[in-house]
Amino acid sequence: MQIIEKDKKKSNIVLSGLPAGPKDGIKIKKEMEKFSKEIKDTGKIGNLKCVVEIKIIADKREVIKNKYKLRQVKNKMVYINEELTEKEREVQKNVKGTVAKELKTGNKVRIWYMKLNINEEDLKWNTEESELKKIINRRYRPTESKTEQYGV
């Protein structure tokens, strides 16, 4: 079920911070066409959120890649993100909750999709256990020398 939902949303982006009234869909579509000519449809999620469906996934990736250029529109902060499934939104909410706690304690935190870095320690969301787990990065793991490995 989640795979079908994910597949339907793979070409969508969510714009937050723009007024999304009944007539604003046309304005949003025109604004987005400056960055991608292949806009399929727009829809309203709430008062300040809307979904933009882009025909070509490569165009969507380009919009996401250049979203920092789109942020400041008519003196309003606009946030552009990929549309997530309900499960993915729940995971991101949990990850952001952890970020808030860590920032309060004074730790240095960086966040990605289902991952975060706290004081140079990488953590990733484990879907089976529904919690963040430490990532053991093989590049940085100390390796044994050949003599230690073979007992010489």
Domains, the chain, in order of start with CATH, read 2-83 (3.30.70.330), 87-134 (no CATH)
Of 36, 18, 14, the C-alpha closest to 27 is 18
Predicted local distance difference test score (pLDDT) of residue 24: 66
Task: For residues 143 and 12, give the distance between their C-alpha atoms in angstroms, rounded to a whole number.
Answer: 43
pLDDT at 90 over 80: yes
For residues 54-77, give the mean pLDDT: 75
- pLDDT band for position 146 (50/70/90)? very low
Residue 46 has pLDDT above 50, yes or no: yes
State residue 45's pLDDT score: 80
pLDDT-derived band of residue 39, with 50, 70 and 90 as boundaries? confident
